[in-house]
Amino acid sequence: MRNANQQRLAELREVLTARPRVSLASLPTPLEPCPGLTRELAGPQIWVKRDDLTGLATGGNKTRMFEYVLGQAIEEGADTVVAGAAVQSNYCRQLAAACAKLGLECHLLLRKVRGEKDDEIQGGLLLDLLVGAKVEMLEGIDWVEHGEIIRQRARQLEAQGKRVHIGRVGDESRLGRYAVAYADAFVELIEQAEELELTIDEIWMSSSDATQAGLAIAAKHCESPVRLVGLPAVPQPIAPGWTFAECISAFGNECAEILGLSTRLLPGDITSIVDYVGPGYGMLTDAARDAMRLAGRCDGLLLDPVYTSKAMAGLVDHVRRGLIAADRTIVFLHTGGLPALFAYGDSLGLEELL
């Protein structure tokens, strides 16, 4: 066993194939070395799992999730989807494109988090509109109020005879459905590593819940020695009073129930580091800005300002402080977010390079 118990990996692969699913992503995504970053940081060996290349509306980790979530929704008869998040949401961008591809009506209620900057038709918002989503902008509300507005819109559409699937932020109650996709991604990644004869020590990622939950339940079920490290992009988990570890383990266990697995996670199984969020969601930090430049200069790797740059900032900081040994092999899970780069162009400090 290099990265996982192969018998258990095969068992997981089998139960995943029984789930309702639609085809949206270009899979498998590449697993590539980052020689420039490895050299710049003087070890460890850094690889990147390119889930920014899933292909739908510039790609990202949510495309994997919608294969399962919308597959189930269509099986249940949905013809309309209502969801929301921040204006530059990767979730909403990929959801809008997925709905266009599947023939579902898509309503997005987007919350402004950057004031007037969010009025610009740029980045993810531009793509939402291009693929036909019906967009409404909201401001002056918190996430709780946002969820209630989404549910109200769903009720209005149902009264018109629509069969509505409510996505995030309107329904945060069944995130184990989203985690299923990253149980599948774990199988894919381990199979790639085995083919490359690569022993993975750690997987680092930006995740506040479902991505890490799916990987974690899969890793535990497959008796994998690989350590998972998640770095949330928000300061607090979606469940008030809970820790990230409690939320992620609960969503992983819901995923296990969906798949019929007996394996269960405990909060102690989860490593979640919140030190790199900065002043808040969607607010770029100096460390994240530096990480974006470093990844771009060393390996031509483009990170986004909201998620992956903060996760990379955490990884770089840990390496530079000697908290990760030079003989380790790290896989950085690139969860996407490219369009937001264009919406944050004036925040990246690139003028000084001209």
pLDDT 10s per residue in the chain (354 long)? 689 999 999 999 999 999 999 999 999 999 999 999 999 999 899 999 999 999 999 999 999 999 999 999 999 999 999 999 999 999 999 999 999 999 999 999 999 988 889 999 999 999 999 999 999 999 999 989 999 999 999 999 999 999 999 999 988 888 999 999 999 999 999 999 999 999 999 999 999 999 999 999 999 999 999 999 999 999 999 888 999 999 999 999 999 999 999 999 999 999 999 999 999 888 899 999 999 999 999 999 999 999 999 999 999 999 999 999 999 999 999 999 999 999 998 888 888 888
Q: Are strands 329-334 and 45-50 parallel, antiparallel or unpaired?
A: parallel
Number of Cβ atoms within 10 Å of the Cβ of 39 = 12
Surface-to-core class of residue 278, CB atoms within 10 Å of its CB (0-12 exposed, 13-18 middle, 19+ buried): middle
Q: DSSP class of residue 336?
A: B
287 and 277 Cβ atoms separated by less than 8 Å = no
- Rg value, the chain, Cα: 19
**Residues 6+ away with beta carbon under 8 Å from 333:** 48, 49, 51, 61, 203, 204, 205, 206, 211, 215
Q: Are strands 80-86 and 105-111 parallel, antiparallel or unpaired?
A: parallel
Q: Can you give the residue ranges of every domain in the chain? A: 6-59+174-353, 61-166
61-166, what's its fold?
Answer: Rossmann fold (3.40.50)
pTM of the model: 0.95
Q: Catalytic pick from 23, 26, 89, 207?
A: 89
CATH architecture of the domain with range 6-59+174-353: 3-Layer(aba) Sandwich (3.40)
285 and 316 Cβ atoms separated by less than 8 Å = no
> Is 89 known to be catalytic?
yes
Q: Do domains 6-59+174-353 and 61-166 have the same CATH topology?
A: yes
